[in-house]
Structure 1
Amino acid sequence: MDMRIGIVQEQSLTLNMTQEIRQAIALLQYSSAELASYIQDIAMDNPLIEVKETAFSNKMTKQSNREINGAGSFLIENVSKENISLEQHLRSQLVDMKLSPKEKRCLFLLIHGLDSNGYLQEDISQLAENINVPEKFLGRQLLVLQSLEPAGVGARSLQECILLQLRRLQARNMMAEEIITHYFELFAKRSWKQLSGKLNISLNEIQDIHDQIKMLDPRPGLKYENTDTTYVRPDMSIRINDDELHIYYHDEMTPEVKISSDYKQYINKTIDKEFKSYVSRKIQQCKWLEKSLQQRKETMLKVMKVIAYKQMAFFKKGKAFLKPLTLKDVAKSLQIHESTVSRAIKDKYVQTPQGLVEMKFFFSTNIDPKNEQNISSATVKERIAELILHENKNSPLSDQKIANLLQNDYRINISRRTVAKYRAALNIASSVKRKEYER
């Protein structure tokens, strides 16, 4: 009998530990938004859990013995320049127009179909068929939409968006309109010598047109408020004070969880064993959640502490001083598994003296571990970007010239092919496509 009881107890303990570990693993890999949603879901199912929202408080936990004043809330908004939506802005322009109910209905439908860039993605003929109106009629309403502000709205492609804006210019450039209308692909690919021959114009003229088009807005809808706007709040912050790095964990990013103070009365007022068992399970669930949240916080701080030590030069001097760092390096320092480090940095953000970055940003490989250059791929990309930024636009640097400059100026030894690979990763065009022509 005793042996059987012992076995049952051991099995029950193993099951509980497995559930707790699974929860801790899940919470560690969640982003702050996912974590808040997860906690709310649990609270909905567990009446004994009290959740106190703290997202807009200024409470921070400091990984240091000193206090730093002025620790504010770091809020980065991706897009929000106008405080009305694109749809509201366009509808307001229709108020004074003499439109029939049918015309207004079609225009509202077209406006509603615009994406966040201000482009119309739906096919006009299909849309006309769906709402049972002639295609020509709907096409005329599209022209009305395209006459509204901002210029370029209602376009169905980048080509049409640019052309709509060119036609609105006070001093119209007919050659620019001709190029965008009939030679857009050649122009976009910078096959300018071929374009020059076809139109019998100089490369300087094409360069002038290119410069004019660069001043236009390829995504006119983005300047308006977007209901899908996303916000990024850092999970932690790094500050430099008295030449020392200080790590802050933003407690306000996580809802505060505690056991309801009312739970005792439920136990004291009932003798129902089944109900008591239910309450006991819910209390245990809350304790697990509290413990898992604390463990998540401690793990993230430990990982960030190692990163801060390894990447000290980055925090003080900038991106070009980022060192090679792998998950294995951090895992070894903390004597934990690489997968734990991977979960701890997944979708987490840090506010640094160099700006807001994802935690995964700090990890990059050594470009040449055999020769022990101890230079990260991120650093090399930064150097390449700097060289291209300051190059002579009339005679841009080839990949081989960049490789030579990296070797001579920074003692970074990489091949032309590696330069090309990193340049492509930075979304920087080749020297042929970067070339500008003298006037």
Structure 2
Amino acid sequence: MLDFSLVQKQRTDLYMTTELRHAISLLQLSTHELIAHIEEQALENPLLEVEMQTEKEATKNDEFQPDYEVRRARQSSGMESETNWLEQISEESTGLHPYLMEQARFLPLTSIQFERLCYFINHLTDDGYLSYPLDELCSELKISFEEAEEILSTLQQFEPYGVGARTLKECLLIQLQQLESRHLLVEQIVADHLDNLANKRWKEIAKSCSIDLLEVQQAYDFIQQLQPRPGLNFQSSLTRYVTPDVSVYLDKETNEVKVYVHMERIPRITVNQQYVKMMHNPNEDVTKYVRLKHEEVKWLLTSIEKRQSTLKRVTEVIVRHQADFIFKNASLRPLILKDVADELEIHESTVSRVTSNKYLQSPKGLLELKAFFSSAVSSNREDSANTSESIKQLLKQLIAKENKEKPLSDQKLVDYLQKEHQIEISRRAIAKYRDELRIPSSSKRRRYA
């Protein structure tokens, strides 16, 4: 009896571990990924049957009907897009590769030359760079290196100038060499001092080229007008639309804030009853297989239910903390994953997983759940709720107004925030926020009159 009980306990622990692992893995999936996961499971499990809800059924099952206008938020700024979606439907003919092919057709080439040139075009990245070494292309086309260089030279005459380049330096030089008025000093700086230029080691450039710092700055400004990614304008600018996983709204009748988890897009899962009957099959292997697959279906259903309930509970806490931001024009309050985890008595990693790749439909538009979290920054003012986002906004404003000839150092930014806003922050944190805002250091922001 003792041995039997031990085996039973071990088996139960194994099943619980498998179920828990499945539930955890589903937590971090977006709705689209969850649907794909369910469909994948259906292919592997003959007992699992899925049925996608029709549009009519989904509308009927979706009890959430917001009384505010549903807006699509831009991924970064949250601003409503004013662009007509019809204008954003891309056509293949506007792509970089078809555009280059069209130019190739107007050249006096033999059919073999045209095919080889097209082969090179097809090996360009979306940014317009040649992604394969010439010797590899030579081997594949069975041509000499000189022939390959000739084809590449032809391609590099095409618009947009810079296509066919193998490095950033080559890309910029191609563009400079195509100008009606050549800028030899700029070409020299790109050819010999591009790394120094990027890191604003201007004194080294000035000394090497026997010019003053103002001339280096003028060359830098000119190079800034060139396109480091010549194919960029041909890339699709389609807005990436996402659908909400959860919605929040104010019930006008009860004046209560309510959270609704969208289930209408999740396929309806059922168990194939024909296979269930096989659990009583006299063949032990068949019975064992069917029972295992039946357990997998049950675990999947339980995991989905757990995912949805956890998502709702976590969202309710977030909404309660950030209600003024969602329903009014207030700023985000400081909120970290641990705050939510402690309140719900769950692990911090669970909060992280369930908010990953999830979007909330709110009166402010479609917002990523992760966006509601920010690290708090200590302040001596009781009425101040400083977050990393508010600090970043202050930094942007300060740096935008600084004297470009004497830009503010990180320490000066620290001193200003402490004195004017009573915000205690380290120089290291300032540097971190600058990096996140893609703002260079003061030495690299310096301009010369």
Verify same fold: TM over 0.5. Answer: yes
Q: Please, what TM-score do these two structures have when normalized by structure 1?
A: 0.79
2:80 counterpart residue number: none
* Alignment map for 1:34-433 (pairs within 5 Å): 34-53=33-52, 67-68=66-67, 70-71=69-70, 82-84=90-92, 85-129=95-139, 131-199=141-209, 201=211, 203-225=213-235, 231=240, 233-236=242-245, 247-251=259-263, 255-259=266-270, 263-264=272-273, 272-274=281-283, 281-315=292-326, 321-350=331-360, 358-368=368-378, 375-433=386-444
Structure 1: where are the runs of 5+ without partners? none
Contact kept in structure 2, 1:24 and 1:292, CA below 8 Å: yes
Matched to 1:334, the amino acid is L
CA distance in 2, matches of 1:239, 1:218: 43
Q: Which moved more, 1:266-275 or 1:167-176?
A: 266-275
In structure 2, relative to structure 1, the CA distance for the partners of 1:301 and 1:389 (3 Å cut) is: farther
Contact kept in structure 2, 1:237 and 1:351, CA below 8 Å: yes
In structure 2, relative to structure 1, the CA distance for the partners of 1:272 and 1:125 (3 Å cut) is: closer
1:273-331 Cα shifts (integer Å, max 9, x gaps) = 4567755554443333223212211211211221222234554678x944433322111
CA shift for structure 1 position 159:
2.0
Structure 2: where are the runs of 5+ without partners? 77-87
CA distance in 1, matches of 2:241, 2:165: 30
CA shift for structure 1 position 333:
0.7
1:27 counterpart residue number: 26
2:84 counterpart residue number: none
CA shift for structure 1 position 39:
1.4
In structure 2, relative to structure 1, the CA distance for the partners of 1:185 and 1:340 (3 Å cut) is: closer
CA distance in 2, matches of 1:185, 1:313: 48
Contact kept in structure 2, 1:299 and 1:344, CA below 8 Å: yes
CA shift for structure 1 position 202:
5.2
Contact kept in structure 2, 1:62 and 1:247, CA below 8 Å: no
Contact kept in structure 1, 2:124 and 2:130, CA below 8 Å: yes
Matched to 2:410, the amino acid is D
In structure 2, relative to structure 1, the CA distance for the partners of 1:174 and 1:370 (3 Å cut) is: same
CA distance in 2, matches of 1:245, 1:377: 27
Matched to 2:168, the amino acid is L
Matched to 2:143, the amino acid is V
SS in 1 for 2:159: coil
1:331-376 Cα shifts (integer Å, max 9, x gaps) = 1111212232222123434466777665344434334499998643
SS in 2 for 1:50: strand
CA distance in 1, matches of 2:123, 2:323: 49
Among all aligned residue pairs of Structure 1 and Structure 2, give the percentage whose two residues are the same amino acid: 36
In structure 2, relative to structure 1, the CA distance for the partners of 1:353 and 1:223 (3 Å cut) is: farther
2:81 counterpart residue number: none
CA distance in 2, matches of 1:212, 1:60: 59
Matched to 1:91, the amino acid is M
1:220-246 Cα shifts (integer Å, max 9, x gaps) = 22333469x995625436667689866
CA shift for structure 1 position 402:
1.4
Number of matched residues?
429
* Cα RMSD for the two superposed structures: 4.2
Contact kept in structure 2, 1:193 and 1:203, CA below 8 Å: yes
